Amino acid sequence: MSPETIGLVGMAILFVLLGLRIPVAFAMFAVGFVGNWILNSPAAALSQLASDSFSLAASSELVVVPLFILMGNVATETGMSRKLYDAAYAWIGSVRGGLASATVVACGGFAALSGSSVASALTIGRVSLGEMDRFNYDNRLSTGVVAAGGTLGILIPPSTGFVIYALLTQESIGRLFLAGVLPGLLLLGMFIVTISILTWFHPEYGPAGPKTTLAEKFGAIGGAAPILLVIVLTIGGIYGGFFSPVEAAAVGAGLVIVFGLLMRSLSLKVLWKAAKDSVVTTATVMLILISAYMIKTFLALSHIPQALGDYLNTLAIPALGVLAIMLAIYLILGCFMEGFAMMVLSMPIFFPVVQQLGIDPIWFGVLVVLTLEMGLISPPVGLNVFIVKSVAPGVPLARIFRGVIPFWIAMLVTLVILVAFPQISLILPNTMIN
The beta-carbon contacts of 390-393 under 8 Å, at least 24 apart in sequence, are 390/122, 391/122, 391/125, 391/126, 391/129, 391/146, 392/125, 392/129, 392/139, 392/142, 392/143
Residue 360: the pLDDT is: 93
pLDDT tens string 106-165 = 888 777 776 667 777 777 787 778 778 878 888 899 899 988 988 887 788 777 788 888
* pLDDT (0 to 100) of residue 43: 83
Least confident among 96-100, 193-197, 208-212: 208-212
pLDDT at 412: 94
**pLDDT tens digit sequence for 368-413:** 999 988 888 887 767 788 878 877 888 888 888 899 999 999 999 9
The CA-based angle 279-280-286, given to 5 degrees, is 85
pLDDT score, position 198: 92
- Inform me whether the pLDDT recorded for 301 exceeds 80: yes
Amino acid at the residue 189: G
pLDDT digits (tens, 9 = 90+) for 323-337: 998 898 888 877 766
CA–CA separation, 410 vs 162, rounded Å? 21
Question: What pLDDT score does 190 carry?
Answer: 95
Q: What is the pLDDT of residue 434?
A: 55
For the chain, percent of residues with pLDDT exceeding 70: 96
Average of pLDDT values for 205-215?
Answer: 80
Percent of the chain beyond pLDDT 90?
13
Tell me: pLDDT of 103 over 80: yes
Please tell me the predicted confidence (pLDDT) of residue 357: 83
Contact criterion met (CB below 8 Å) for 289 and 32: no
pLDDT at 422: 94
pLDDT at res. 284: 75
Between the CA of residue 79 and those of 153, 340, 349, 392, 418, what are the distances in Å?
18, 28, 42, 20, 35
The number of folded domains in the chain is 1
- pLDDT confidence of 426, banded at 50, 70, 90? very high
Q: Can you give the pLDDT at residue 408?
A: 94
pLDDT on residue 433: 62
Query: Which residues lie below 8 Å from residue 201, measured CB to CB, with a gap of 6+?
Result: none
2-13 tens-digit pLDDT = 888 888 888 888
The pLDDT assigned to 115 comes to: 67
**Helix axes 98-114 and 64-77, enclosed angle (nearest 10):** 140
d(CA 356, CA 340): 24
pLDDT of 418 higher than 90? yes
Q: What is the mean pLDDT of the chain?
A: 82
pLDDT tens-digit map of 343-366: 877 888 888 888 888 899 999 999
**419 pLDDT band (50/70/90 cuts)?**
very high
Instruction: Give residue 338's pLDDT band: very low, low, confident or very high (50, 70, 90).
Output: low
Rank 231-240, 265-274, 314-323, 375-384 by mean pLDDT and report only the highest.
Answer: 265-274
| Lowest mean pLDDT across 142-156, 220-234, 286-300 | 286-300
Domain that holds residue 21: 3-432
